[in-house]
Chain A
Amino acid sequence: MAEPGRLTREDVAHVAALARLHLSDAELDLFTGQLAEVLDHASDVASLDLAGVAPTAHAMAVTNVLRPDEVRPGLDRDEVLGQAPSVEDHRFRVPRIPGEAP
């Protein structure tokens, strides 16, 4: 399997944007070096020949988990909304979503 190239500053900036994180120039420099070092260490895994080995996403997989179809109380609405940063008419309130009319 081809090993990916070394992580660049541009890669980190791109990934930060995907993860909705804003990084200062100093943070970008610091994180690029640190993350590249971790990925370099992980290249021992990337270079292994594991063709034909099945991946394990979950060590103790359980399937078809259902609970009895019984009505149970949910969370208290006011208690949940009481923890929200902004609420209007019993709903979570957020700033404008781009593309929508203001």
Chain B
Amino acid sequence: MVSSGEWSAVDILEQHLAAIEAGDGAVHAFNLVTADLAREQAVEVDRKVAAGEDPGLLAGVPVALKDNLCTRGVPTTCSSRILEGWRPPYDATVVTRLREAGAVMVGKTNMDEFAMGSSTETSAFGPTRNPHDTSRVPGGSSGGSAAAVAAGFAPLALGSDTGGSIRQPAALCGVVGMKPTYGTVSRYGLVAFASSLDQIGPLATSVADAALLFDVIGGNDLLDSTSLHRPTPRALAVLDDGVDGLTVGVLSEFLDGAAPDVVARVHQAAEALAGAGARVEEVSVPEVAFGLSAYYLIAPGEASSNLARYDGVRYGLRVDAEDVAAMNTATRSAGFGAEVKRRIMLGTYVLSAGYMDAYYNQALRVRTRIIEGFTRAYHHCDVLLGPTAPTTAFALGAKVDDPLTMYLSDVCTIPSNLAGHPAISVPFGTGDDGLPVGVQLLGPALSEGTVLKVAAVVEAAAPPLAAPVLVEGTPT
């Protein structure tokens, strides 16, 4: 619409900034709204359109960025005191690609501190609230990005997903969220949590928008040595191909721990796929039952190593002390919140001499078994279907004092991270409490095209979801 001159990028931006102004007091999706920078970018898009230049695939589209994506000169906090006020000296590759595509970056979204959490409550700057019910959590860790899209503050957002941090908040907020295959989106400029699991991906109001955003940010990057060299398939091109002839496996292990109202929606989505021509069958991958345990040994192990860099020397917080070791300790003790400390200690423990073989190495062997289990299922299934999260959005404060219960929110999302596979959450009606339910589609490595086209069929069959009302009388 912007590239055709029907709307100006500046007008679209101002509408979204007004929505943020009116609604974000109740939601707290953003750590920082970059209105001035966004206005400069919107003006530039309008100039290109007026001059007849190509303004890019995302010309004038407002995008919200999770606050663990580096933005040059713009504060990037990971919702942690230890990085408060830090202005990165470079842009993440995904930020560069968004800018080149003409996107307008409206702000940095709140998250669980260093992406460690499933509710956005571990943020040092206070929780984000679910736009559908502000007494509930938005999920996490990309809760700010999911809430921003759900509330109409931005049609697109980027999140990161280490154990479900895009898909679980997408499900709880009633938006689409995809974790792509590991290596398809550059991690350069994504502040590291668990490097073998972290992946950047899109959140959007529709499957088509998520596919478009994935197409813009994906592809090889010389600045990320884990970036895959094969060309990323153009997801948007196959979106309308339908599911005729495809086999969908309903993953029984994912149904086991889920609430009955969530399970009912998964079955309803399966019926819709069968009605659209897919073969639907029940599939068991018993290995995924060990995913949660393996994840909470592997991810903290990697995190304890990655977060060693916050030493008070080169950037971020410093708490002075008499010598350098005491300064490191004082800085880290003051700068990290409780959940980050828990994970660093857990990771340090499982990597320490005497325990590494029993815990960490054992978890890496479980990871192999999970990949083998998925491979077996994908011999006869094109995609797998299950819930994204076991329940709808829970109340703020309900799980924050009980880490293990919180970790169980990720039981259906973690296996895809361990396997490096793509998975997407699509809104599918509501639970008994009237809050959004997300169903999840999983596929083998580099099957984004298939996963997205199945997701499009699920989306078309989904019961309607009422838009959240943040300001009395004005649905967003």
Q: Are A55 and B226 in contact (CB under 8 A)?
A: no
Give the size of the chain A interface in residues (CB under 8 angstroms). Answer: 56
Q: Are B419 and A59 in contact (CB under 8 A)?
A: yes
Nearest residue, chain B, Cβ from A77: B89
Interface membership of B341, Cβ < 8 A: yes
Expressed in whole angstroms, the Cα–Cα distance for A45 and B290 within the complex equals: 7
Q: Are A75 and B362 in contact (CB under 8 A)?
A: no
A52 smallest CB distance to B (angstroms): 9
Report B354-368 CB contacts with A as 1/0, cut-off 8 Å: 110111011111111
Interface membership of B336, Cβ < 8 A: yes
Expressed in whole angstroms, the Cα–Cα distance for A75 and B366 within the complex equals: 40
Nearest residue, chain A, Cβ from B334: A22
Q: Which of B18-26, B51-59, B134-142, B292-300 contacts A (4 or more CB under 8 A)?
A: B292-300
Contact of A19 among B181, B296, B304 (CB under 8 A): B304
Interface membership of A90, Cβ < 8 A: no
Q: Are B341 and A31 in contact (CB under 8 A)?
A: yes
If over half of A's interface residues share one DSSP class (helix, strand or loop), that class is named, otherwise mixed; here it is loop
B residues within 8 A CB of A16?
341, 345
A residues within 8 A CB of B404?
34, 37-38, 41
A residues within 8 A CB of B345?
12, 15-16, 19, 21, 31, 35
If over half of B's interface residues share one DSSP class (helix, strand or loop), that class is named, otherwise mixed; here it is helix
Expressed in whole angstroms, the Cα–Cα distance for A6 and B434 within the complex equals: 42
Nearest residue, chain A, Cβ from B196: A58
Given A19-B344, A48-B362, A60-B228, is A42 in contact with B296 using a C-beta cutoff of 8 Å?
yes
Contact of B371 among A27, A35, A56 (CB under 8 A): A56
The B391-424 residues at the A interface (CB cut-off 8 A) are 403-404, 407, 418-421
B80 smallest CB distance to A (angstroms): 14
Interface membership of B312, Cβ < 8 A: yes
Q: Are B329 and A53 in contact (CB under 8 A)?
A: no
Expressed in whole angstroms, the Cα–Cα distance for A83 and B88 within the complex equals: 8
A residues within 8 A CB of B344?
19, 21
Expressed in whole angstroms, the Cα–Cα distance for A80 and B72 within the complex equals: 11
**What total count of A-B pairs have CB within 8 Å?**
186
Expressed in whole angstroms, the Cα–Cα distance for A15 and B271 within the complex equals: 51
The A47-86 residues at the B interface (CB cut-off 8 A) are 48, 50, 53-60, 62, 65, 67-68, 75-76, 79-80, 82-86
A residues within 8 A CB of B421?
59
B residues within 8 A CB of A38?
296, 346, 403-404, 407
Give the size of the chain B interface in residues (CB under 8 angstroms). Answer: 77
B residues within 8 A CB of A22?
329-330, 333
A residues within 8 A CB of B234?
none
Expressed in whole angstroms, the Cα–Cα distance for A54 and B328 within the complex equals: 37
Expressed in whole angstroms, the Cα–Cα distance for A2 and B358 within the complex equals: 7
Contact of B87 among A53, A54, A83, A86 (CB under 8 A): A83
Given A4-B355, A35-B342, A79-B89, is A46 in contact with B304 using a C-beta cutoff of 8 Å?
no
Expressed in whole angstroms, the Cα–Cα distance for A68 and B223 within the complex equals: 11
Residues of B in contact with A (beta carbons under 8 Å apart): 86-90, 181-183, 196, 222, 225-229, 290, 292-294, 296-297, 304, 308, 311-318, 320-330, 332-333, 336, 338, 341-342, 344-346, 348-349, 352, 354-355, 357-359, 361-369, 371, 403-404, 407, 418-421, 445
Residues of A in contact with B (beta carbons under 8 Å apart): 1-4, 7, 11-12, 15-16, 18-23, 27, 31, 34-35, 37-39, 41-42, 44-46, 48, 50, 53-60, 62, 65, 67-68, 75-76, 79-80, 82-86, 92, 94-98
Pick 23 A–B contacts, CB within 8 A, sort by A.
Answer: A1-B357, A19-B332, A19-B344, A20-B311, A23-B341, A38-B407, A41-B292, A44-B293, A45-B297, A48-B290, A48-B362, A50-B362, A53-B369, A54-B365, A59-B418, A62-B226, A62-B227, A79-B89, A80-B89, A85-B317, A94-B327, A95-B320, A95-B322
Q: Supply 12 further A-B pairs (C-beta < 8 A) apart from A56-B367, A80-B89, A98-B325.
A: A3-B358, A12-B345, A19-B308, A22-B330, A31-B341, A34-B404, A39-B359, A45-B290, A59-B421, A75-B89, A84-B315, A95-B326
